[in-house]
Amino acid sequence: MASKKYILVMALIVLIQSVGLAQTDLGWDWKDTSKISVSNLPQHNEFLNNQYPYPAKPRNMWELGLSFGKAQVFGDVLNYGFGYGGALTLRKAIGHVVSLRGGILYQKMKGIDSKLWSTDKVDGYLSPTNGYRGFTGYGNYAAYTPNNPNQSLKAFTPNYRNVSWSGTFDVMFSLNALSHYRANPARVVYLFGCYAMVNTAGDTRLALGGNGSTPFNYTTVNFKGREDEIHKAVNNLISKTNTGGPKENYPTGPVRRKNKGIRQ
């Protein structure tokens, strides 16, 4: 079965937040004057003394949030190891329904494919047991061709390292607050309006120390083994302890697919 995919085109970031709330039957102590701003205290005192029919509006509260979880890239190249992400958010209520929230998110992840890729119009084999996926090569990847006399430049295994920072701004609408005749709800339903700015940096390791004259020989890896064994073998080949040189030396850019999957 053939599948059509894009590699490293889109990273889907899912943050699941759990909030625990400790509440009394009335949600908050309506007699507590610390929840009332100074400007609204006269109305609150009149309400407590049965001189005014409505209580004063409580203070608009602040909320500090911390998030941590797994960061995952959905694409042709599977994540290798545990990609992680963390976020810090600060939220300010501006009424019973609307609140504003700003935050910053950090993510770090890496991935390694479980097959060889080479510049070709079709998929094929470098040997009876060593298949490759054909794609449109460009830049540093164009040198990889099945007929290249240099064994190290016949094919490569896509891999990546990615670090990203995101700044977010959310407008949150609490839909539960619109229902004035319910007791404390078991669930809170929010409607979000969001804007985010993302700064991301990714690179692919192709050569020893980032030097194009010493490319890794990915064909030495046994790609007929289990997927976890393939990932471990490729990682050992390209690991920083064996490559040397700053990470900035590694070429960057995605791989562009041209045709469909390897035929077995």
- Same domain? 53 vs 133: no
For residue 236, being part of any structural domain is answered with: yes
- Same domain? 176 vs 210: yes
**What pLDDT is attached to residue 18?**
35
For residue 231, being part of any structural domain is answered with: yes
Q: Is 159 helix (H, G, I), strand (E, B) or coil?
A: strand
For residue 2, being part of any structural domain is answered with: no
For residue 15, being part of any structural domain is answered with: no
- Same domain? 79 vs 97: yes
Q: Is 184 helix (H, G, I), strand (E, B) or coil?
A: coil
Q: Are 208 and 251 in contact (CB under 8 A)?
A: no
Q: Residue 167 and residue 169: Cα distance in Å, rounded?
A: 7
- Same domain? 51 vs 86: no
pLDDT digits (tens, 9 = 90+) for 180-229: 666 666 778 889 999 999 988 877 888 876 666 788 899 988 888 888 89
Range of the domain at 88: 62-257
- Same domain? 41 vs 97: no
Q: Rounded to two decimals, what is the model's pTM?
A: 0.66
**What pLDDT is attached to residue 180?**
63
For residue 9, being part of any structural domain is answered with: no
- Residue ranges, the chain, pLDDT below 50: 1-26, 245-264
Close Cβ partners of 82 (under 8 Å, ≥ 6 residues apart): 70
**What pLDDT is attached to residue 206?**
84
For residue 4, being part of any structural domain is answered with: no
For residue 262, being part of any structural domain is answered with: no
Total number of domains constituting the chain = 2
**Measured CA distances, 32 to 197, 219, 240, 242 (Å):** 40, 72, 59, 64
**What pLDDT is attached to residue 27?**
55
**What pLDDT is attached to residue 119?**
92
Question: Per the structure block, which two tokens stand in for 189?
Answer: 């339903």
Helix H segments across the chain?
Answer: 41-48, 227-238, 240-243
